[in-house]
């Protein structure tokens, strides 16, 4: 019986060894699957990071261009302010030098010109349209009656 017992122990040991090998193979397969998924996730993450880096670089370039454009606009604005100040000084100098020009500038505007500059406080497009179509509106040139001679 000891031979039978040894054979049974051997079979049990062999069964346990086969079960252990099978469990280890299953673990290896699961680990390989997880490794593949992790590699895919890492590749996706790298692709996303590359895309985000390109986007960030594009945005940085756009920001740099916008800042350059703003500085150019500020420089133009400063030049325009200087030109305006120069023109205003020139006008004032001309007024001081020329009596006829000074008298002309001191006169009040004619009524027609003053009416062109007067506007009620308008809020919105509808109010502007109503104001334009009111009785004080200037008719278009084609609707004017022919002038008498």
Is 89 among the domain residues?
A: yes
Q: Please write the tens of the pLDDT for every residue from 30-71.
A: 999 999 999 999 999 999 999 999 999 999 999 999 999 999
Which tokens belong to 86?
């120069």
SS (H, E, C) the chain: CHHHHHHHHHHHHHHHHHHHHHHHHHHHHHHHHHHHHHHHHHHHHHHHHHHHHHHHHHHHHHHHHHHHHHHHHHHHHHHHHHHHHHHHHHHHHHHHHCHHHHHHHHCCCCHHHHHHHCCCCCCCHHHHHHHHCCCCCCCCHHHCCCCCC
Indicate the pLDDT class of residue 149, thresholds 50, 70 and 90: very low
Is 11 among the domain residues?
A: no
Percent of the chain with pLDDT over 70: 89
Is 92 among the domain residues?
A: yes
Number of domains observed in the structure of the chain: 1
* Dist. CA 76–CA 72, nearest whole Å: 6
* Dist. CA 124–CA 65, nearest whole Å: 35
**pLDDT score for 138:** 56
Percent of the chain with pLDDT over 90: 54
Which tokens belong to 50?
């590359």
**pLDDT score for 87:** 94
Is 77 among the domain residues?
A: yes
| Structural domain for 89, as ranges | 65-104
Is 124 among the domain residues?
A: no
């Amino acid at each position: 019986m000891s031979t039978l017992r040894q054979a049974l122990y051997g079979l049990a040991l062999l069964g346990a060894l086969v079960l252990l090998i099978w469990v280890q193979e299953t673990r290896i397969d699961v680990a390989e699957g997880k490794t593949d998924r992790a590699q895919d996730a890492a590749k996706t993450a790298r692709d996303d990071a590359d895309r985000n880096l390109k986007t960030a670089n594009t945005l940085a370039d756009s920001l740099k261009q916008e800042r350059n454009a703003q500085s150019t606009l500020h420089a133009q604005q400063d030049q325009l302010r200087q030109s305006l100040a120069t023109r205003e000084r020139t006008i004032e100098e001309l007024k001081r030098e020329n009596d006829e020009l000074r008298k002309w500038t001191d006169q009040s505007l004619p009524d027609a010109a003053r009416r062109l500059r007067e506007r009620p406080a308008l809020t919105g497009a509808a109010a502007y349209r109503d104001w334009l179509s009111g009785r004080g509106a200037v008719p278009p040139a084609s609707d004017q009656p022919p002038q008498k001679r």
